[in-house]
A = this chain, B = another copy of it.
Amino acid sequence: MAVKSQTKYLWFETKKLRDYIRITDEIAAFLKESGIHEGFILVSAMHITAGVYINDWEEGLIQDIDTWLEQLAPENPAYHHHRTGETNGDAHLKRILIGHQVMVPVTEGRLDLGPWEQIFYAEFDGQRRKRVILKALGI
């Protein structure tokens, strides 16, 4: 079978410094545009102070994730990175913790996700324009 590839970029500019935005529907719409029935979609944050993850769409848990990331990778003026004039050292570490990309399987023309799996964009240094790449490869 002939392989198809499709690429799209999602843009974000959050009002808050940290935010968690559900993007499952955008990925499903992209899948339709791609015409792919079997394969993968890469969803990857292109800025190094943002991430992409798959977890629960439940406000309490999203709060828990935010609190937990701040505990393990706190805002802190003392990061060496801040000698460059930056103030977002914590955001780089939060991206590492949550991960910056997922591969979404495509089966029979639909996103093959579990019953509670939802795809999220995680912003850790917002209020500027940032991109996420969607790239599908399949048949």
Contacts and interface: CB of A to CB of B under 8 A. Distances in A.
A84 B40 CA distance: 33
A64 B48 contact: no
Q: How large is the interface on A (under 10, 10 to 19, 20 to 34, 35 or more residues)?
A: 35 or more
A80 B38 CA distance: 38
Interface in A24-80: 38-40, 42, 44-48, 53-56, 58-61, 63-65, 68, 72-73, 79-80
Contacts of A1: 2-3
A46 B5 contact: no
A48 B2 contact: no
A102 B43 CA distance: 12
A133 B110 CA distance: 14
Contacts of A63: 80
Given A38-B137, A46-B115, A61-B89, 19 more contacts: A5-B38, A5-B139, A39-B137, A40-B42, A42-B103, A44-B105, A46-B117, A48-B55, A55-B92, A55-B95, A58-B81, A58-B84, A64-B79, A64-B80, A65-B92, A68-B73, A103-B103, A105-B133, A107-B135
